[in-house]
Amino acid sequence: MRLGGPASEYEVVHTTEHLVALIREADAAGKPVLVMGGGSNLVVGDQGFEGLVVQVATSGLNIHEEGVTVEAGVEWDTVVATSLAAGLAGLEPLSGIPGSTGGTPVQNVGAYGTLTSDLLTCLTVYDRATGTVEQWTPDRCGFGSHRQSIFKHTDRYVVLDVTLQLARSTRSRPIHYAGLAGRLDIAPGATAPTREVRDAVLALRRRSGMILDADDHDTWSVGSFFINPVLSSVPDKARDCPQYPDPAGTKLSAAWLIDRAGFPRGYGHDWCRGTVALSSKHALAVTNRGNATTAEVMKFADHIREGVEQRFDIRLGPECDLVNCKFG
């Protein structure tokens, strides 16, 4: 989001061994540690972070016969492009997502009908509580409900690498997401060449402002600021909202709730100093229009959240990670 204060210490690590050793040393000294990849999902307070910020820049990427093992610091879209170039299918719906590989199981990153958990076979995790490096299977990750995992909203675990099971093919898996199928001019449930799927996904993400562009303030965001709420029961006021089944109940569209609460795409240009607004392309993206402060972002997000709650009796939560900042 191009905002937030400084780190008192900042170190970039290029090997897994250095990463683990650095965190162990800081933990033993009682020093606060923030581990980050590309920072694409972080909102950092104006006061910054009083402690050690570790940026993970590990770079290992190993192609298998039907899969790939990737260290946490590798840019995610590099993984997608490299896998497709090697003749492996499965990741193409996840093209163009910013951030690094280590963040994908944390958020259980998903798009256009594909989730990280659909493809993950194992991962290596450093447990800061026990000081051990462990091999995990996906059943330990707490996947299930939308965008949830055991890693989210805790700093106990550090993902070191992931292994993904892919198919040796130049055609995609069946595409059930209607918008993507329409873009490809195929029937929902049909397949398409993986290269064409990647191109279509990138075009759709670009249209919604979800491809990073330094000259486009609509992309100065963390993507979806608010998570789609999952409720055990849907309030009567929200009965017309698009609804999707979820293991924890019913998932609702946060974008629909925001828009219908009176906050359409582009809302906020006249709000406060005009430095924060919703993207003109995507109602879920809170954007920095230039020279915004984190305090302004959080005040604006509070404003949106309170409006949705007043209209629908639903309180939205963050999709992003908040560091030294919070809702009011």
Residues 77 and 99 sit within 8 Å (Cβ to Cβ) = no
Average pLDDT rounded to a whole number, residues 60-75 = 97
- Is 147's pLDDT higher than 80? no
**How far apart (Å, rounded) are the C-alpha atoms in residues 8 and 53?**
8
Q: Does residue 319 carry a catalytic annotation?
A: yes
**What is the second-level CATH architecture of the domain 61-207?**
2-Layer Sandwich (3.30)
* Confidence label for 144 from pLDDT (cuts 50, 70 and 90): confident
- Alpha-carbon gap, residue 89 to 146, rounded angstroms: 24
Determine contact, residues 60/70, Cβ cutoff 8 Å: yes
- Read off the pLDDT of each residue in 70-92 and give the average, rounded to a whole number: 98
Contact 168/65 with Cβ under 8 angstroms? Answer: yes
Token code pair at residue 162? 């992931």
Neighbouring C-beta atoms of residue 245, cutoff 10 Å? 8
Give the up-direction half-sphere exposure of residue 204: CA atoms within 13 A in the CB hemisphere: 21
Kindly indicate the confidence band of residue 146, based on its pLDDT and cuts at 50, 70 and 90. Answer: low
Q: Annotated catalytic residue: which of 147, 173, 198, 265?
A: 147
Domain with CATH 3.30.43.10 in the chain: 7-56
CA distances from 75 to 16, 116, 163, 199, 225 (A): 15, 15, 15, 18, 21
**pLDDT greater than 90 at residue 72:** yes
Residue type, 6: P
Answer for the pair 324, 47: CB distance below 8 angstroms, yes or no.
yes
Q: Give the pairing of strands 114-115 and 7-13.
A: unpaired
Which pLDDT value is given to residue 271? 86
Residues of the chain with CATH 3.30.465.10: 61-207
Tokens coding 287: 């954007």
CA distance 243 to 277: 26
Predicted confidence at residue 1, as pLDDT, reads: 94
Assigned CATH for 7-56: 3.30.43.10
pLDDT for residue 114: 93
Mean predicted confidence (pLDDT) in 156-162:
98
Catalytic residue among 83, 100, 172, 224: 224
Q: Which pLDDT band, with edges at 50, 70 and 90, does 153 fall under?
A: confident
Res. 141: pLDDT tops 70: yes
Tokens of 83: 């896998």
Which of 174, 4, 164 is closest to 76 using CA atoms? 164
Ranges of CATH 3.90.78.10 domains, the chain: 217-323
Confidence tier at 28 by pLDDT (50, 70, 90): very high
Is pLDDT of 236 > 90?
yes
- Matching residue, tokens 């000294």: 29
Contact (Cβ atoms closer than 8 angstroms) between residue 296 and residue 273: yes
Two tokens, residue 252? 């609702």
- Rounded to a whole number of angstroms, the CA Rg of the chain reads 20
CATH class of 217-323: alpha beta
How does pLDDT run across 274-328, given as a tens digit for each residue?
999 999 999 999 999 999 999 999 999 999 999 999 999 999 999 999 999 999 8
| Cβ atoms of residues 90 and 72 within 8 Å | no
318, two tokens: 């963050």
